[in-house]
């Protein structure tokens, strides 16, 4: 079975001048994981941050938070090892960005193997390499059958519900058949949605079968992030329970 309903605030929508504090605030409000958007100015036009920021966040926040790295980069192969060393927990690359998804999946697995604490170069910082999970993302124009051959080799499929690289876009409801098809064909797969997801659109995502919910401004800009996180999680959990009863 999929790992349960989890809510991951997109920290790119936070006050970037106080990024560590913002991450702590989200975790204190009940976030299940943190979604970190990495943009390189090539795969998408904008630029955000790289592995040095991830390393700093890991050092500040400790081992517990789950870092879901959304790698919107032109050469995802280049950053697997740096992100693994920095403390990433999941490396989510775009299918459109690589010519050899199978090799990249293998590389992520190999780089995510636990290191011996006594010889790990980061031990002085208080953490060791986590096991890296593999996420595979597709843009709105990419058909779900292009992802399907890799679905049994990954931990999570990310269905973008906006075009990657820009915040504030309108949720694309016509992406929901992709989520529904993946949930039907791969019932144990974690399925993430990202883009325009909030209280007004969560029902459509949950009913389609998404169980990992990325939400940016709806959470980060809310006066009560905890209530928004709880609402998203409750809707997602209720939809999952209903699917189980309907089988």
pLDDT at position 246, please?
79
Selecting from 2.30.30.30, 3.20.20.70, 3.40.720.10, 3.30.70.3280, what CATH number does the domain 6-246 have?
Answer: 3.20.20.70
Contact call for residues 96 and 88 (beta carbons, < 8 A): no
Query: What SS3 string covers 162-175?
Result: CCCCCCCCCCCHHH
Three-state DSSP class for 13?
Answer: helix
Query: 131 falls in which pLDDT band (50, 70, 90)?
Result: confident
Handedness of CA 119, 122, 128, 130 (dihedral sign): negative
- Residue 202 φ then ψ, to 5°: -65, -35
pLDDT in tens, 144-177: 999 999 999 999 999 999 999 876 689 999 999 9
Q: Which two tokens stand for residue 109?
A: 């697995």
Taking residues 34-61, report their average pLDDT: 96
pLDDT at position 7, please?
98
Catalytic residues: 37, 194
pLDDT in tens, 178-235: 999 999 999 999 999 999 999 999 999 999 999 999 999 999 999 999 999 999 999 9
- Residue 8 φ then ψ, to 5°: -125, 105
Taking residues 128-134, report their average pLDDT: 73
The residues spanned by each domain of the chain are 6-246
Read off the pTM: 0.92
DSSP percent split of the chain into helix, strand, coil, nearest 5? 45, 20, 35
Q: Which residue has the tokens 């490396």?
A: 91
CA distance linking residue 163 with residue 175, whole number of Å: 11
Kind of pairing between the strands at 67-72 and 90-94? parallel
Taking residues 11-24, report their average pLDDT: 95
How long is the chain?
Answer: 247
């Amino acid at each position: 079975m999929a790992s349960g309903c989890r809510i991951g605030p997109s920290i790119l929508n936070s006050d970037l001048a106080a990024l560590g504090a913002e991450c702590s605030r989200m975790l204190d409000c009940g976030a299940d994981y943190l979604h970190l958007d990495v943009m390189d100015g090539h795969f998408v036009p904008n630029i955000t941050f790289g592995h040095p920021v991830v390393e700093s966040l890991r050092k500040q926040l400790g081992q517990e938070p789950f870092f879901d790295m959304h790698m919107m980069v032109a050469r995802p192969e280049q950053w697997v090892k740096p992100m693994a060393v920095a403390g990433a927990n999941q490396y989510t690359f775009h299918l459109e960005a690589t010519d050899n998804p199978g090799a990249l999946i293998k590389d992520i697995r190999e780089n995510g193997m636990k290191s011996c604490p006594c010889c790990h170069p980061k031990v002085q910082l208080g953490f060791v390499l986590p096991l890296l999970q593999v996420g595979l993302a597709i843009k709105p124009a990419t058909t779900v059958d292009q992802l399907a051959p890799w679905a049994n080799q990954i931990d999570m499929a990310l269905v973008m519900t906006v075009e990657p690289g820009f915040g504030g876009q309108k949720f694309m409801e016509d992406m929901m058949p992709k989520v529904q098809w993946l949930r039907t064909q791969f019932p144990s797969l974690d399925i993430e949605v990202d883009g325009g997801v909030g209280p007004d659109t969560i029902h459509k995502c949950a009913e389609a079968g998404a169980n990992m919910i990325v939400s940016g401004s709806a959470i980060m800009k809310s006066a009560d992030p905890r209530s928004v996180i709880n609402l998203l999680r409750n809707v997602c959990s209720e939809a999952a329970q209903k699917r189980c009863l309907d089988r």
